[in-house]
Structure formats: structure tokens, C-alpha cells
Amino acid sequence: MNYNKKTVKDVDVKGKKVLLRCDFNVPMAKDGSGVITDDKRIRAALPTIQYLLEQGAAVIACSHMGKPVATFDSYKKKQLEKGKDEASITEEKWKKSLAELRMEPVAKRLSELLGKDVILADDVVGPDAQAKAAALKPGEIMLLQNTRFEKGETKGDPELAKKMADLAGADGVYVSDAFGAVHRAHASTAVVANYLPAVSGFLIQKELDFIGGALANPKRPLVAILGGSKVSSKIGVINNLLEIADTIIIGGGMAYTFSAAQGGKVGDSLLEEDWKDYANDMVKKAADKGVKLLLPVDTVIADKFAADADSKVVKSGEIPDGWQGLDIGPETVKLYCDAVADAGTVIWNGPMGVFEFEKFAAGTKAVAEALSKTSAITIIGGGDSAAAVQQLGYADKMTHISTGGGASLEFMEGKELPGVACLLDK
């Protein structure tokens, strides 16, 4: 995939309307109060928004929020699939579920951060959005309603994409700055680029520079740390990184599938029986390619999956029945930290253990601390790894923390990202 894409700085936006796809899918308080509990994604969009406004563009921002069900029939079907009683499924409840995913709280917070009014449309491409977009002046910003209120959004409907493009007019520009959604070929993330010249915002440019640069031309040695629960979810990533990495470190739940594949005893640990052959294939492929593949040599085990479980350290492959591995052990911590000490580039995706439990967070903490001390370019691939680094207080010590978990994973797999492929090449 070509990572060298045109950005907002490569096009003239003065006096033009810009359709800007953001990722405003922010976490909300679960009490229905409309309170945003973390505004990081809104803040991340500010550099691009402020640049466009300063350049004299009229900005039509849009984003999805959550997973609204666009029609009552679809809502009813989903509720029935969840085992809900048909009598309890009402149109009123469906409408309430939509109301909780409206963009009013985002518009309010964005307005506070920008220090200027954000005009909010009552729909996505309907009469209100059309009227407000038509009246929008240079230096003003409006926000459309949740793009997923339109059932054609997730289907990549060309008709919906054309209507969204039409809001920006004949000389409009499309700017993509929602990295967390670029792996989806939705109407607002990719298809709309068929109707407007499409460039990246600063957020996507940064992701392409760091992750794309690490994959295409890394400062060596390149060390990849892969954790998380399942081998199956990281197949493509391991396979792709075996082509370019110097060292691959395996931690988290998926390490037990590798251990079992090599004849080790894993007790009640997370195990993907069907993926043992694959794990062995990866070990062989690494050896054939001269890539160091580091696996845990010891592990912290627990007698139950709980924060207050009894725990002890055993050698990898020697976990007794009734016990399960929940973190890498102290010898493994030293082995992994030594491996990143002299790295040129480190990519990290997935925690080393159940870091949500203090007792089993030591491995993840140690790796985060080691990365904070290295002179290497450190790239955290979104999702749980990003959450761990933030939670442990090392975020400001990392070179780059990706804003997209699923997107960064697919990026590292070498997959084409529809929301990036659609942008104009430099």
C-alpha cells in the first residue's frame, strides 16, 4: 500500500467547503446523562480543524458514534437474537437507543475546545443538513448527525456517499482524519472519495508516517512485541512482521498456545487448540528467516481468574491442572526488557498479561517502563496496549500512540486500508 498520500497542506481550501471525517466515537457515561467521559478523540481532531478554519475553509465535520440500529425492524431483530421477549421490544426503546447516540454532546465539547460555535445539523444528509451546509460561511464549522443513523453508511452505499459529497458542493474537498475507521469501506470513510478530491488530515498523516515508516523503512533493529489473548487474532500481524522484524516477542494469553504446541503443560490457561500447528509453523518460519522469536520462559499462574487469586511463578510449560497463566514471569520480563534496550524501532500491540488486575500487571508495566527508557522509536498500536500505557502513566514517553486499534492491526498485517487507499497519492 502506498503510504505517501496528499494532505490538507497539498490542496487549496480557501473559500471551499470541506467534508471532514473525524472519529468522534467518544465514550459516554452509562447513565444516559450525555456526559463525555474521555474527550481525547475530539482533541485529536483539533489541529486539522483549526488549520482548515484558519485557511478560510467552511468545515462540515462528520463522525459515527456507537452502533445505532437505523430501523426499528433491524432493532427488533437484534433484540430477539439476544433472547429478549418480543413484548418488551418497543419503538420507544429503539428511539431512546438512538437518542443516546446523537452528536449534541460532541458538538458542545467541540465548541468549548475551539472557542467558537459549532452548528449542529439535525440529520446527516436530510433537509436540515442541506440547508445548514448551503448557508455555511468560510471560517465556520458544522457537525452532521451520527453517520450511522443512515443505514447505507456501513454498507458503503454510493448514493449516500454522493449526498454527503454534495453538501460540500462542486468545488468541495474531502479530508479523512478518522484513523480509527479507515479499515472500513463505509460511505463516509472511503466511498465519498469517489465524488470529491480526497486528502488526509494531520492525524492520519501522523499514523502513516509512523506506522507506515516503521513497516516500510524501520530504524533497526526492529522489535515487535505482540500480546493479547488469541493467536488467531494476530495471525496476519505475526506473518507480516516475520518478513520485516529482527525480533518478535510473544506475550499475553496467546503465549500458552505456543507453549502447548511445543509440548508444554498449560493447565487451565487460555489455549487455542486449533492453532497449535500454526504456532509451530511460525516458530519454524522465524528460524528459517533468522528472526529471533522470543517466548516466555516463566509465567505467573493463578488458581482462578480473579484480582485476589492465589499466585506463584513456574517455568513455562509446567503449569499444573487447575491453574492458569495470567502474566509473564520475572525471568521473561528481564529477557524482554533486554531485547528492547538496544532496539531502533519498537512496535507494541497487546498487553503481556491481565493488566486490569494489579497482581498480574507486572509484565505489562515492566515492558512499558523499558520502552519509556529506550532511545528507540516506540509505536503503540492502539487498543489495549494504548490503554495500558495511558493507565500506567507512560503515554508521554512514547513516540507515537495509534488512535485506531483495529485499523493499526490491519495496517501491521499489511492489509490495504480502504480509507487510506482512496486518498490522492503525492
The set of catalytic residues is 41, 230, 383, 406
Neighbours of 284 (CB within 10 A): 11
- Running DSSP on this structure, what letter comes out for residue 400? E
Q: Which amino acid is at 113?
A: L
Residue 221: is the preceding peptide bond cis (ω within 30°)? yes
In angstroms, the CA 426 to CA 416 distance is 17
In angstroms, the CA 41 to CA 35 distance is 15
At residue 75's C-alpha, the angle toward residues 96 and 128, to 5°, is: 55
In angstroms, the CA 22 to CA 27 distance is 15
In angstroms, the CA 174 to CA 192 distance is 8
Report the side by side order of strands in the sheet with 17-21: 118-120, 141-143, 58-62, 17-21, 173-176, 198-200
In angstroms, the CA 151 to CA 163 distance is 14
Q: Where are the beta strands (DSSP E) in 101-159?
A: 118-120, 141-143
Of 316, 346, 296, 218, nearest to 369 (Cα)?
Answer: 346
Burial of 180 (0-12, 13-18, 19+ CB in 10 A): buried
